[in-house]
Structure 1
Amino acid sequence: MNKISGLVITYNEAKHIRACLESLWQVCDEIIVIDSLSSDDTVAIATELGAKVYSQAFLGYGPQKNYGVDHCQHAWVLSLDADERLEADAISDIKALDLTNSPYDTYAFRRKNLFHDKWIRCTSWYPDHVRRLFNREKVRFSHAQCHEKVESTAHTALKSHIRHYSYTNYHDMLHKLNKYSTQYALDNATNQRRVSVWSPSLHGLGAFLKNYLLKGGIGCGFDGFTISLLNALGSYLKYAKLLEIQRYKGVQS
């Protein structure tokens, strides 16, 4: 029988944490929560639901999750963000896996990204494959401060789903876009990645055309156009901020 450790990192996630943990308990034997000093009821709710909660000031997404992996008891870890939850098909697929004899070290799921409580089935938002179930004895998260992922060469994708309550509204999306683009620039400046003055425009235009035309945003009405546009803005800002660091040794958040 599969033994799985659930892992969630949190900061003021009282709105989401209950549904997230309740879905994890459908397939996990323990749940580890790494909390970044929340000021709401996140810790109380997680403790009530039987999770083992550890407090750790935020280290960045990759390092924070790897810190959590070190506290997991079992070889296989199922990591969800607090605003995610397993859908019924994912629960069934996980229960059916023979993880002891698996030829893979990582499994990805299709993520349903919701916006205004509506599943966005176009742009890069679907199918949005995310690696969530992995063998911690073989793989770890990347050390990226943002947009971390499980680094694996022996992975496969399941057809089942994780539900993701990604953004509350456009204001929330813009706020996170600004935050993530800054962190991308800082990560890549550390890696000494060089960009040209054309990089922001070319990447931004490419992201819009990909999302709106190739990924079907054109068929999703106002949300499809706006999400494509904001994805393009996010891509533009990542490279503009990296260029800013290279030219002026600084970036504004």
Structure 2
Amino acid sequence: MNNSITAIILTYNEEKHISRCINSLKNICEEIFVIDSFSKDRTVEIAKELGAKIYQHPFINQAQQFNWAIKECPILSEWIWRVDADEYIEESLAQKTKQILKTIPDDVNGIYVNKKIVFQGRPLLHGGWYPAQQIKIIRKGLGASENKWMDEHLIIFSGKTISIDGDQTDENLNDLTWWTDKHNGYATREAINMLMMEYSIEDQSKEVQPKLWGTEAERKRWLKMKYIKAPLFLRPFINFNIRYILKGGFRDGKEGFIWHFLQGFWYRFLVDAKIYEIKKRFGWNDEKIKAFIKETYLK
């Protein structure tokens, strides 16, 4: 199975998206594993009909679920492609990947691809959201997900990476009620993630390292470390203005405005409110806050 690819898709109630996702992978992946968190809709049934191999496992967070999958699934392929259920692989990316894998050097263990977001039917091509390259393909046994509660990236343990100029597109078909409910949950995880980073609770040697002049992920992590040090409640205003005005997010029309206001301001403000709530609960006592996070989220 040299230079073959296995896709890993994490699912929970993804009947709207799963067939689109699997069908986009069929012409490039020899195996497709769906790791389901006990969906209550037809996700598993549809995935089985399309030939995917189904495993079910309780969900804690995206990172732990993916790392469980690469450890426990009987993967035969040389490469592993992480794809979210509401994503799909553009045909041009699939073809480029096929060609590159035929001659890829042995010391390359990770592949960056473009992440493209489509929101309410409109691609978001400005505001710093595109192409936003991320490692999505790793050589088996030589990469994994950072163990973070939110904003996790794939990392490689050694070797080099290459980039492919092709799109892995994120287009969620649910409505705004679903989106805001989902981001409320994300905000809780992001608040914990940011507190872990603020207090250096995680093992940062196993994470993407913050570098201003590094890769897209390294630069994003560097900016996030700066963001964490900025004042609560002020930083969402700064983030919105940088992305929507300075980086041209306004060029993506009404859909772009809705996205940048909700994702770039409202969501970030909600994260700050949850951080404030936790700090106030423990009287702004750093040791009590750290003990709470370790006891609640690091068991």
In the TM superposition, what is the alpha-carbon distance from 1:118 to its structure 2 partner? 2.0
Give the match for residue 125 of structure 1: 129
Give the match for residue 26 of structure 1: 27
2:191 is equivalent to residue 158 of structure 1: no
2:28 is equivalent to residue 50 of structure 1: no
Range that drifts further, 131-140 or 170-179: 170-179
Structure 1, unmatched stretches of 5+, are: none
Matched position secondary structure for 1:134 = strand
Range that drifts further, 232-241 or 7-16: 232-241
Give the match for residue 120 of structure 2: 116
Matched position secondary structure for 1:238 = helix
2:284 is equivalent to residue 227 of structure 1: no
CA-to-aligned-CA distance 1:70-118 (integer Å, 9 cap, x gap):
2123231011000111101111111011375244322122122112222
Range that drifts further, 99-108 or 123-132: 99-108
Instruction: Name the CA distance, whole Å, in 2 between partners of 1:131 and 1:210.
Output: 25
Range that drifts further, 112-121 or 17-26: 112-121
TM-score, normalised to structure 1, is 0.88
Task: Identify the match of residue 173 of structure 1 among 165, 171, 179.
Answer: 179
In the TM superposition, what is the alpha-carbon distance from 1:42 to its structure 2 partner? 1.0
Give the match for residue 14 of structure 2: 13
Instruction: Name the CA distance, whole Å, in 2 between partners of 1:145 and 1:10.
Output: 17
2:95 is equivalent to residue 89 of structure 1: no
Instruction: Name the CA distance, whole Å, in 1 between partners of 2:278 and 2:175.
Output: 30
In the TM superposition, what is the alpha-carbon distance from 1:23 to its structure 2 partner? 1.4
Instruction: Name the CA distance, whole Å, in 1 between partners of 2:130 and 2:273.
Output: 27
Range that drifts further, 134-143 or 234-243: 234-243
Q: Is the 8 A contact 2:9 2:35 kept in 1?
A: yes
Q: Is the 8 A contact 1:20 1:83 kept in 2?
A: yes
Give the share of equivalent positions with the same residue, in percent. 27
Instruction: Name the CA distance, whole Å, in 2 between partners of 1:127 and 1:97.
Output: 20
Q: Is the 8 A contact 2:198 2:228 kept in 1?
A: no
Counterpart AA for 1:244: E
Task: Identify the match of residue 185 of structure 1 among 191, 197, 202.
Answer: 191
Counterpart AA for 1:129: Q
Does the C-alpha gap of structure 1 residues 85 and 198 become closer, same or farther in structure 2, counting only changes over 3 Å? closer
- Aligned pairs, number: 251
Structure 2, unmatched stretches of 5+, are: 201-226, 283-291, 294-299
Does the C-alpha gap of structure 1 residues 209 and 110 become closer, same or farther in structure 2, counting only changes over 3 Å? same
CA-to-aligned-CA distance 1:171-209 (integer Å, 9 cap, x gap):
333223222111011233345639999622232122112
Give the match for residue 218 of structure 2: none
Instruction: Name the CA distance, whole Å, in 2 between partners of 1:179 and 1:94.
Output: 34
CA-to-aligned-CA distance 1:211-251 (integer Å, 9 cap, x gap):
11232112223222222222122223223322321221499
Give the match for residue 217 of structure 1: 249
Matched position secondary structure for 1:221 = helix
2:272 is equivalent to residue 239 of structure 1: yes
Instruction: Name the CA distance, whole Å, in 2 between partners of 1:238 and 1:155.
Output: 33
In the TM superposition, what is the alpha-carbon distance from 1:11 to its structure 2 partner? 0.6
Counterpart AA for 2:60: L
